[in-house]
Amino acid sequence: MSNWYLAPIKDVIKKPSNNQYKTDSRRLKFCEECKMVWEKCHADNTHYRYKDFPSYGLTRQQCVFCK
């Protein structure tokens, strides 16, 4: 008799990533002139600005409204 069988599926436990907000920090930018956080929406090619948004760790780049 042959010894074949399907191995049981092991539960894979994923560790939470250390930087779960990495995608947001790539998309959001901080304008130093108007002191607002802004982003460009690629779906409809519009720009959004956020007045009370934490800017810690965001790239500093002048927004389209201040250029």
Q: Which residues have CB under 8 Å from 27's CB, separation 6+?
A: 39, 40
Q: Does residue 29 fall inside a structural domain?
A: yes
Q: Per the domain annotation, does 5 fall within a domain? A: no
pTM comes to: 0.63
Is residue 14 situated within a structural domain?
Answer: no
| In a domain? residue 32 | yes
Query: Based on the structure, what is the number of domains in the chain?
Result: 1
Residue 53 is part of which domain span? 22-60
What pLDDT does residue 43 have? 82
User: Which H or E run contains 41?
Assistant: strand 36-41
Instruction: List, in sequence order, every residue forming a beta bridge with 46; answer none if it has no partner.
Output: 41
pLDDT of 34 reads 94
**Higher model confidence: residue 9 or residue 49?**
49
- At 10-55, the pLDDT tens digits run 666 666 666 555 567 788 999 999 999 999 988 888 999 999 999 8
User: Is the distance from CB of 65 to CB of 47 less than 8 angstroms?
Assistant: yes
| pLDDT computed for residue 44 by the predictor | 86
User: What is the four-CA torsion angle of 17, 30, 49, 45, rounded to 10 degrees?
Assistant: -80
